[in-house]
């Protein structure tokens, strides 16, 4: 596991972009992408660049159950706004949050098939304060594949800031499993801010345990962790 410590989010995103650019130049075609505040600056770097994405395939980590792609809180909408409208890809995949209303197992199976047919060359991740990756909360089996996740009360509360009312927050999501994530050839994890410091320390130097889902990355042969100084602050203790 390679650790890169940077001054701030901007410098960290620049470092991440350099890795993506080099990997694409060396033949990477399938990018596993993430949503949330952490990758936004990286996507700004990407859209401002001259990088040609027209032959690339993207596969996102997750999507809320019940939100249509044009809903401004859906991850489909997020990706269009922050990346795809400015840098069109050859093909973009996100889980089907509408099919998942009545058939979550079918939506998950469809997505597992997509991942199997398009092996991910480089996977982008963030990390939660409790060590979760994507919506894979503590206790998620390491051998899990795409599945419906019932969102925890803490996650619903945290996400309510994006909605008019907490009752509007979706109660579940379709999410890549940990085994799907680990199948990527290369993984980049970004973490910025002091609130992520304990999770980063547990991920890097703690035991490999399902109580800290991100700790499984210790078992992956090609992981780069990019943190700012605040997120790295526990590593020297």
The answer to whether residue 130 is catalytic is: yes
Nearest to 171 by CA among 186, 160, 182, 161: 160
The answer to whether residue 8 is catalytic is: no
**CB-based contacts of 153, cutoff 8 Å, min separation 6:** none
Question: What is the distance between the alpha carbons of residues 131 and 1, in angstroms, rounded to a whole number?
Answer: 16
Backbone angles phi, psi at 190, to 5 degrees: -110, 140
Spot the catalytic one: 130, 148, 210, 234: 130
The answer to whether residue 165 is catalytic is: no
Spot the catalytic one: 132, 147, 159, 228: 132
For 151, which DSSP code? P
Question: What is the distance between the alpha carbons of residues 125 and 34, in angstroms, rounded to a whole number?
Answer: 6
Nearest to 95 by CA among 104, 87, 84: 104
Spot the catalytic one: 15, 45, 60, 62: 62
Question: What is the distance between the alpha carbons of residues 203 and 168, in angstroms, rounded to a whole number?
Answer: 32
Rounded to whole angstroms, what are the CA distances from 103 to 41, 100, 228?
35, 5, 41
Spot the catalytic one: 96, 137, 147, 180: 137
Place of tokens 């991440």: 16
Burial letters 125-145, b for 16+ CB under 10 A, else e: bbbbebbbbbbbbeebebebb
The answer to whether residue 62 is catalytic is: yes
Q: State how far Cα 6 lies from the chain centre.
A: 20
The catalytic residues are 62, 130, 132, 137
């Amino acid at each position: 596991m390679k650790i890169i410590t940077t001054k701030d989010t901007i410098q960290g995103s620049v470092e991440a972009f350099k890795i993506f650019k080099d990997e694409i130049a060396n033949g990477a075609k399938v990018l596993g992408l993430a949503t949330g505040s952490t990758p936004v600056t990286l996507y700004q770097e990407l859209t401002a660049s001259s990088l040609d994405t027209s032959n690339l395939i993207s596969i996102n980590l997750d999507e809320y159950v019940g939100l249509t792609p044009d809903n401004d809180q859906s991850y489909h909408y997020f990706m269009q706004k922050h990346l795809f409208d400015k840098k069109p890809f050859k093909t973009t995949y996100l889980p089907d949050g509408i099919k998942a209303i009545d058939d979550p197992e079918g939506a998950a199976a469809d997505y597992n098939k997509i991942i199997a047919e398009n092996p991910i060359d480089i996977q982008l991740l963030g990390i939660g304060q409790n060590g979760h990756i994507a919506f894979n909360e503590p206790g998620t089996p390491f051998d899990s594949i795409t599945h419906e996740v019932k969102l925890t009360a803490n996650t619903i509360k945290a996400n309510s800031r994006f909605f008019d009312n907490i009752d509007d927050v979706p109660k579940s999501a379709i999410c890549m499993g940990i085994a799907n994530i680990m199948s990527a050839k290369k993984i980049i994890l970004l973490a910025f801010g002091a609130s992520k410091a304990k999770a980063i320390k547990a991920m890097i130097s703690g035991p490999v345990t399902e109580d800290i889902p991100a700790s499984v990355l210790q078992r992956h042969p090609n992981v780069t962790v990019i943190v700012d100084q605040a997120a790295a602050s526990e590593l020297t203790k």
